[in-house]
A and B are shown apart, each in its own frame.
Chain A
């Protein structure tokens, strides 16, 4: 039996993690993700779990590194400037193939930026974040329900592939309240023979390979795994997509606004559709390539200065014109400007 609760996006992230079996949360205060850590600080003691406020985002991600190495499901969260600090730890998590769930409730940047919603960390999330060749699975919810569902699913995904799963969301979704259907069902439990502190044979968790051929092999093995993820985990949602001449690409909060613009365009007889990536990595290339077979033009709607647009262009191999429709700095695009972009694209392309 599932129940419905009215809950804030940031709190939904916390509840979903607990439902997924996460009992170790390591955080550090930063706006606009504070409700998540605050919720964890209330709930973890009730669940006989661990809530620990670290001395920095760096320490928080390294506590996740230690807890994950010891085989437990664990999580940390932050917002943009804090994710920059976690970049070192994310690289080490990847280098040791450790599972982890990391939340980024994005705010505007660069630098201290602002505390209003933004999607300006797209490159940071999808291109690796820290040093070295590696990827994270990046999930982009667009409702409080999806904040819950994706977070609930992210722990099994992390365990399955021994990767960091980043929930890339923003202050808008984090602060928003919506009714959420709470997940039931069994979580898949993964055997972790590589973990330390299991009372078995000696295990070493390490990313140091001084011999070049050994380091190369570890990279090649990891990227073979990434190819499996690219094959099996591309996720997206299409809205009015099947017959779309103009395809709007938008994720997260932007996609909700884009949907309104598409409805308005349709009411004017324009065949506009939405292709919403749910996984930002792996990017849903297959869906974009398929959409490009029919569509005349693409529009990337972003709260960033043109970041996802590069992946759209790559996915369709620049076979159609792609334009950018964006606001930044904590300003969200409004349906009118997206509609104007659709009208302009139609004018040029058809």
Chain B
């Protein structure tokens, strides 16, 4: 029998704890495949966030550090400055990266810190049960915006790639999605490119992945993908926002 598909070695065999239909598992695989294809798994350190991916260290076959909420880029900075020969990446959600960790994110980028951030944007706090996030859409109903996000009271969603692209230290940032096969392929290409830029020692790279949260959006997985396309993509257009590589 021919093997037509194999799980990439950098992923462990542990069953994922993510909800059915959540795209975290898919994004984990893309990160692991990119690192495996580059042959750098043994010299990679991942930094896990606080949020749904807090236990990412269980799913990757590489060294991992679990960081305090929002602090992953600072922790990754410490690792990279101590071990410049290692590949260092953070894996962060929208609350972690764009609310409590905004300062850490912006300054890691501004320093041109030679790390890669995989930013999973699903427009909601997943692990804590679906609260409004910095990337929650105007009008979106969440546990803490029960009447829909009112931008007059709660402000506007943050476009992370657009913001970071203004910084000289950001070498590469791209927004991708994992809603279709075509987009999944493009997402992997972007993630791999980010790691290649890090390996070349060029500076800060970030890939923002539009993602779904069927559980907290209250939609089934397929409807969630439709909602992402209808609501998130117009506000968060896919594309390369910075490429100085």
Point out residues on A near B: beta carbons under 8 Å: 24, 26, 50, 52, 54-56, 58-60, 62-72, 74, 88-89, 92, 96, 196-197, 199, 202-208
Residues on the B chain within 8 Å of A60, using CB: 74
Q: Max chain A CB contacts within 10 Å: which of B57, B68, B78?
A: B78
Binds A, one of B41-49, B118-126, B196-204, B236-244: B41-49
A-B contact pairs, 20 of them (CB 8 A): A24-B81, A50-B82, A62-B67, A63-B75, A63-B77, A66-B74, A67-B79, A70-B45, A70-B79, A71-B82, A74-B82, A197-B83, A197-B86, A203-B64, A204-B64, A205-B65, A206-B65, A207-B66, A208-B54, A208-B55
Q: Would you call B27 an interface residue if the criterion is a C-beta within 8 Å of the partner chain's C-beta atoms?
A: no
CA of A99 to CA of B54, assembled, Å: 23
Residues on the A chain within 8 Å of B79, using CB: 66-67, 69-70, 196-197
Give the nearest-CB partner of A63 in chain B. B78
CB distance from A260 to the nearest CB of B (A): 44
**Given A59-B74, A62-B67, A63-B74, 17 further pairs, Cβ under 8 A:** A24-B78, A55-B107, A58-B71, A62-B75, A65-B78, A66-B65, A66-B77, A69-B79, A70-B45, A70-B86, A92-B67, A196-B63, A197-B63, A199-B42, A204-B63, A206-B48, A206-B66
- Please tell me if the beta carbons of B68 and A68 are within 8 angstroms of each other in the complex: no
CA of A274 to CA of B136, assembled, Å: 62
- Please tell me if the beta carbons of A24 and B65 are within 8 angstroms of each other in the complex: no
Please pick, from B42, B76, B82, the residue contacting A24 in the complex, using a CB distance under 8 A: B82
CA of A54 to CA of B104, assembled, Å: 9
- Please tell me if the beta carbons of A196 and B78 are within 8 angstroms of each other in the complex: no
CA of A50 to CA of B77, assembled, Å: 11
Given A202-B61, A206-B66, are A66 and B78 neighbors across the interface (CB < 8 Å)? yes
Residues on the A chain within 8 Å of B219, using CB: none
CB distance from B107 to the nearest CB of A (A): 4
Residues on the A chain within 8 Å of B82, using CB: 24, 50, 66-67, 70-72, 74, 197
List the 8 closest A-B pairs by CB distance, nearest first: A66-B78, A62-B74, A196-B63, A67-B78, A63-B78, A66-B75, A55-B107, A70-B82
- Please tell me if the beta carbons of B45 and A196 are within 8 angstroms of each other in the complex: yes
CA of A88 to CA of B75, assembled, Å: 13
CA of A24 to CA of B77, assembled, Å: 11
- Please tell me if the beta carbons of A52 and B68 are within 8 angstroms of each other in the complex: no
Residues on the B chain within 8 Å of A67, using CB: 78-79, 81-82
- Please tell me if the beta carbons of B66 and A202 are within 8 angstroms of each other in the complex: no
Q: Would you call B186 an interface residue if the criterion is a C-beta within 8 Å of the partner chain's C-beta atoms?
A: no
Q: Would you call B167 an interface residue if the criterion is a C-beta within 8 Å of the partner chain's C-beta atoms?
A: no
Residues on the B chain within 8 Å of A208, using CB: 54-55, 66
- Please tell me if the beta carbons of B42 and A58 are within 8 angstroms of each other in the complex: no
- Please tell me if the beta carbons of B63 and A202 are within 8 angstroms of each other in the complex: yes
CA of A92 to CA of B72, assembled, Å: 13
Residues on the B chain within 8 Å of A56, using CB: 103
Given A62-B67, A199-B42, A206-B57, are A70 and B62 neighbors across the interface (CB < 8 Å)? no
Q: Which of B68-102 contact A (CB under 8 A)?
A: 68, 71, 74-83, 86
Give the nearest-CB partner of B110 in chain A. A55
CB distance from B72 to the nearest CB of A (A): 8
- Please tell me if the beta carbons of A52 and B83 are within 8 angstroms of each other in the complex: no
Residues on the B chain within 8 Å of A24, using CB: 78, 81-82
- Please tell me if the beta carbons of B71 and A89 are within 8 angstroms of each other in the complex: yes
CA of A65 to CA of B47, assembled, Å: 11
- Please tell me if the beta carbons of A66 and B47 are within 8 angstroms of each other in the complex: yes
CB distance from A281 to the nearest CB of B (A): 23
- Please tell me if the beta carbons of B71 and A203 are within 8 angstroms of each other in the complex: no
- Please tell me if the beta carbons of A203 and B63 are within 8 angstroms of each other in the complex: yes
CA of A197 to CA of B43, assembled, Å: 7
CA of A314 to CA of B229, assembled, Å: 65
CB distance from A75 to the nearest CB of B (A): 12
Q: Which of B25-59 contact A (CB under 8 A)?
A: 42-43, 45, 47-48, 54-55, 57
Q: Max chain B CB contacts within 10 Å: which of A26, A55, A62, A205?
A: A62
Give the nearest-CB partner of B81 in chain A. A50
CA of A72 to CA of B84, assembled, Å: 12
- Please tell me if the beta carbons of B74 and A54 are within 8 angstroms of each other in the complex: yes
CA of A54 to CA of B103, assembled, Å: 10
CA of A65 to CA of B71, assembled, Å: 10
CB distance from A35 to the nearest CB of B (A): 23
Given A196-B45, A203-B63, are A88 and B78 neighbors across the interface (CB < 8 Å)? no
Give the nearest-CB partner of B41 in chain A. A202
